[in-house]
């Protein structure tokens, strides 16, 4: 009886491939999918050749300390969209952030307002293809995302319920993206028996669909949790960032520019960080982009990762109260910093696991502030800390990198434009980070990367292995 039940269940689960089909909800009108189809075969051949010719070459080693210390700096994975240089900072497909600000297309000017910051749509094209897009390509991709921007009603209702229950904004983001998983074209294609070499196509479709709905999902989280719950209708005539700003409740050309800059500079930071690696790891099990991205956002929500931006701003506000003025002297800032360190606390926003200079993302935001809000009191305090903190931290001697990272600056910009809800900041980070981690996921499927399964060992194994592998001292001859 049990055998017959199992056999019947197996027969039901075994769906004939010819009777199952899947289709995309839209045909890509931007030309991105076509261009990737042209690029991928050559990249596959390149990777195949590298693995054949260089597969036995070592690219790094792992010490016992690294095994215990979170595998820090162990070279053990590939990541196509970006590479982090400890001196120059992040490079997106070989381009620095200043490069991107010059090379990537800008949003079309509206009502005479000049745009100077690059768009995340243009960055998406670059991350996926490795090519700087033309203005026509970037604008076509923007229109493509706008045409896909539809959030199902069950997700709208879910977000309303979750905000009413008081869930953290990041929990709402993870839940909403997970609730859209039923729309995954990759999952449908896999169940229909799609070829392994075709997985990237529906991964790309899912990626574009996820990116398209994220602004509305994120805006609903903000409006439901902190405002009146009302949302401006989607305006397909606007670029991605400006439309996001309208749905958040902002109608300012300067805030549009801030959103473009914010979404570009936070988009990717190579593959070893928690949100990127989690998305990669979950995707390696052939989980679809909705589930993979949702998993990555669970990692981003941690205080040692994406949540750090809100922690920095909270600290800066408390710091301002401690010094007792909005315009402290360098000596006052220095004393307050030493008080923080002597109390056994860290200076949040300073130091980075890899970088050994001021984070270029910090500098991009600083330049934006100097241009748009040079007299803002909170920005002036952040600037004063920037002038004093590296010297104090160097003298303190317990940090390898005394310079600020991206989290040390983003909060004061958002506060200037009225977004004071710290708990929401990581959701903005998540919208941006989707561009990088999902671009990489497309390439993971294009290159048929396998399930990730590193080898783990126990402390007892390490003790035994190290002891037994250490050469014994040579015996002294009695002769």
Closest CA to 437 of 319, 229, 270: 270
- For this structure, is 305 an active site residue? yes
Closest CA to 349 of 402, 380, 312, 400: 312
Are 186 and 201 in contact, with CB atoms under 8 Å apart?
no
Tell me how far apart the alpha carbons of residues 28 and 35 are, in angstroms, rounded to a whole number: 11
Tell me how far apart the alpha carbons of residues 264 and 105 are, in angstroms, rounded to a whole number: 12
Q: Which of 407, 409, 416, 444 is catalytic?
A: 407
CA–CA–CA angle 148, 154, 157 (5° rounding): 115
- For this structure, is 372 an active site residue? no
Tell me how far apart the alpha carbons of residues 457 and 468 are, in angstroms, rounded to a whole number: 15
Q: Which of 139, 234, 305, 409 is catalytic?
A: 305
What residues contact 110, with CB distance under 8 A and at least 6 apart? 238, 242, 253
- For this structure, is 407 an active site residue? yes
DSSP track, 330-344: HHHHHHHHHHHHHTT
Are 423 and 199 in contact, with CB atoms under 8 Å apart?
no
- Taking each helix axis from N to C end, the angle separating 377-396 and 330-342, rounded to the nearest 10 degrees, works out to 60
Q: How many CB atoms lie within 10 A of CB 225?
A: 21
Q: Which of 352, 359, 416, 444 is catalytic?
A: 352
Closest CA to 307 of 220, 415, 430: 430
DSSP track, 104-138: SPBPPPBTTB---SBPHHHHHHHHHHSSPPPHHHH
- The catalytic residues are 305, 352, 407
């Amino acid at each position: 009886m049990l055998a017959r039940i199992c056999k019947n269940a197996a027969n039901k689960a075994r769906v004939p491939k010819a009777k199952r089909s899947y289709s995309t909800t839209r045909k890509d009108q931007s030309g991105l999918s076509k261009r990737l189809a042209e690029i991928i075969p050559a990249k596959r051949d390149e990777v195949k050749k590298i693995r054949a010719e260089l597969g036995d070459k070592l690219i790094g080693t792992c010490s016992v300390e690294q095994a215990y210390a979170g595998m820090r700096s162990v070279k053990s994975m590939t990541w196509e969209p970006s590479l982090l240089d400890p001196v120059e900072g992040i490079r997106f497909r070989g381009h620095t952030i200043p490069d991107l600000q010059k090379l990537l297309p800008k949003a079309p000017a509206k009502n005479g307002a000049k745009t100077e910051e690059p768009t995340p749509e243009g960055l998406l094209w670059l991350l996926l293809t490795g090519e700087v897009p033309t203005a026509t390509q970037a604008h076509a991709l923007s229109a493509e995302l706008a045409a896909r921007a539809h959030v199902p009603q069950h997700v709208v209702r879910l977000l309303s319920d979750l905000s009413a229950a008081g869930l953290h904004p990041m929990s709402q983001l993870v839940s909403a993206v997970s609730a859209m998983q039923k729309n995954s074209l990759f999952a449908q294609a896999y169940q229909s028996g799609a070829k392994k070499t075709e997985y990237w196509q529906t991964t790309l479709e899912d990626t574009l669909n996820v990116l398209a709905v994220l602004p509305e999902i994120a805006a609903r989280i903000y409006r439901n949790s902190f405002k009146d719950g009302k949302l401006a209708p989607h305006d397909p005539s606007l670029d991605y960032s400006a439309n996001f700003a309208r749905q958040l409740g902002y109608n300012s050309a300067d805030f549009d520019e801030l959103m473009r800059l914010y979404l570009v500079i936070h988009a990717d930071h190579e593959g070893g960080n928690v949100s990127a690696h989690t998305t990669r790891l979950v995707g390696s099990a052939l989980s679809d982009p909705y589930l993979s991205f949702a998993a990555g956002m669970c990692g981003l929500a941690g205080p040692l990762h994406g949540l750090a931006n809100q922690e920095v701003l909270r600290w800066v506000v408390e710091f301002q109260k401690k010094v007792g003025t909005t315009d402290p002297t360098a000596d006052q800032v220095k004393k307050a910093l030493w008080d923080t360190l002597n109390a056994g606390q860290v200076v949040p926003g300073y130091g980075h696991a890899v970088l050994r200079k001021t984070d270029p993302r910090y500098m991009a935001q600083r330049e934006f502030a100097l241009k748009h809000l040079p007299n803002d009191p909170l920005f002036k305090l952040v600037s004063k800390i920037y002038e004093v903190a590296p010297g104090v931290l160097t003298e303190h001697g317990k940090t390898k990198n005394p310079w600020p990272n991206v989290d040390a600056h983003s909060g004061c910009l958002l506060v200037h434009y009225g977004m004071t809800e710290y708990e929401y900041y990581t959701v903005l980070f998540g919208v941006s980070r989707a561009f990088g981690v999902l671009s990489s996921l497309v390439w993971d499927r294009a290159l048929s990367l396998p399930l990730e399964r590193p080898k783990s060992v126990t402390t007892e194994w390490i003790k035994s292995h190290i002891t037994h592998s250490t050469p014994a001292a040579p015996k002294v001859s009695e002769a």
